Copies of this chain bind each other. A is one copy, B any other.
Amino acid sequence: MSVTAAQGFRAAGIAAGIKKSGRTDLALVVNDGPRSEAAGVFTRNKVKAAPVLWSQQVLTTGALRAVVLNSGGANACTGPQGFQTAHATAERVAEVLGCGAVEVAACSTGLIGEQLPRETLLSGAEKAAGGLAATPEAGAAVAAAIMTTDTVPKQAQVIDPAGWTVGGTAKGAGMISPSMATMLGVITTDAVVDQPMLDAALREAVRYSFDRLDIDGSMSTNDTVLVLSSGASGVRADPAVFTAALTRVCRDLAEQMQADAEGVTKRITVRVTGAASEDDAVTVARTIARDALVKTAMFGSDPNWGRVAAAAGYADAALDPERLDVTINGVLLCKGAVVAGDRAACDLSGKDVMIEVELGLSGGADGHTAEIRTTDLSHAYVEENSAYSS
């Protein structure tokens, strides 16, 4: 599993002392090659954390030897001092590994607006570099060290019969929205892939996984997903097969993030069909998934389809009320924007909710559909996000 599933990678996750709790808070993933293609997708937030600025810069080369990650602080809104901290950390890792700082990406997660303790980070990075291993335990230690309000580590892998593997880990529990989550993700592969293909595959995979997860509509300053390829399997991957495998790993991680989102009591899938375009399908699904009244109704196990219809109606997308159908957990409740089935027949007592919205503007082979995954809005979400700074 995780970042050490593919050949050619070593990893470590340690307690550097950033978190006052003493829990592990620093991770290192190293690509031993022979190849070093890499690609990344970053937050679209205009306020970007220092490690995002650093990693975007180094990734212009399309190659990485290592990624250093920390929890316990986002290193966002920290100015030049924060950028120097990210730079110095990458430099320290590079020194120990014998490569250039430009081959080392950095990721941070935690509270915005506080400086990271630079010396703690530097000595932690050195310690992690001294404890690298290619074992599943080392991969699991990375998954644990990047957790913030996550309650469980998240790992996934796909082994292709052709002889290559894709594995990865991610964290993310709140502030999860358009263009990914407050999420960090590191994915590794030993398939032989050229950099432009790796980049294209990652964009496609993120588009249909992390980008389709929307917990609370908030977009983080730190979102980062990186993919590193060692080529150690010696097997060249078919682009379509590789993209599908990478997408599966990303979707698996996104589903784990959904299940572990802050305060979740319901896992909700909003599926929109018959939209005028795929963008419209995503917009309508996302608008419903973000609607506070829909989310609180789901928390109350209330099949309040009127709130779903209202949210669809204010989405910035083509919609004809006379063709709007709403089905919740298999029960058609609204046909042509008019009350249809019996609310009482709709059972929302379980943990999974499927909201299906048919727009009736396309269909068959030309039908435009999209699914957005979200969660309910519960007392626990409010508690977790109000009781302390995060």
Which of A's residues lie within 8 Å of B, judged by CB? 44-48, 74, 76-79, 82, 111-115, 174-175, 177-178, 216-221, 290-293, 296-297, 299-300, 302, 304-307, 309-314, 319-321, 324, 333-334, 336-339, 377-379, 381-383, 385-389
Q: Are B310 and A218 in contact, with the CB atoms below 8 A?
A: yes
**Given B336, B339, B381, which contacts A114 in the complex, CB threshold below 8 Å?**
B339
Q: Would A47 and B293 be within 8 Å (CB), given that A305-B113, A339-B77, A382-B377 are in contact?
A: no
With the chains together, A290 CA to B111 CA distance in Å? 20
17 new A-B pairs (CB below 8 Å) besides A218-B307, A296-B381, A299-B382? Answer: A44-B314, A45-B313, A47-B310, A47-B319, A77-B334, A77-B337, A77-B338, A82-B338, A112-B304, A113-B306, A113-B309, A113-B339, A174-B293, A177-B314, A221-B310, A296-B386, A300-B385
Q: Would A385 and B217 be within 8 Å (CB), given that A46-B321, A307-B112 are in contact?
A: no
Q: Are A218 and B291 in contact, with the CB atoms below 8 A?
A: yes
Q: Which of A74, A115, A219 has the most chain B CB atoms inside 10 A of its CB?
A: A219
**Given B221, B334, B378, which contacts A313 in the complex, CB threshold below 8 Å?**
B221
In the complex, how many angstroms separate the beta carbon of A41 from the nearest chain B beta carbon? 15
With the chains together, A156 CA to B48 CA distance in Å? 45
Minimal Cβ-Cβ distance residue in B for A82: B338
Minimal Cβ-Cβ distance residue in B for A318: B46
Q: Are B46 and A113 in contact, with the CB atoms below 8 A?
A: no
Q: Are B388 and A300 in contact, with the CB atoms below 8 A?
A: yes
Q: Are A175 and B293 in contact, with the CB atoms below 8 A?
A: yes
What B residues does A377 contact at CB under 8 A? 292, 382, 386
With the chains together, A238 CA to B381 CA distance in Å? 51
With the chains together, A389 CA to B297 CA distance in Å? 7
With the chains together, A313 CA to B43 CA distance in Å? 10
Q: Are B112 and A387 in contact, with the CB atoms below 8 A?
A: no
What B residues does A111 contact at CB under 8 A? 306
Q: Are B220 and A310 in contact, with the CB atoms below 8 A?
A: yes
Q: Are A389 and B175 in contact, with the CB atoms below 8 A?
A: no
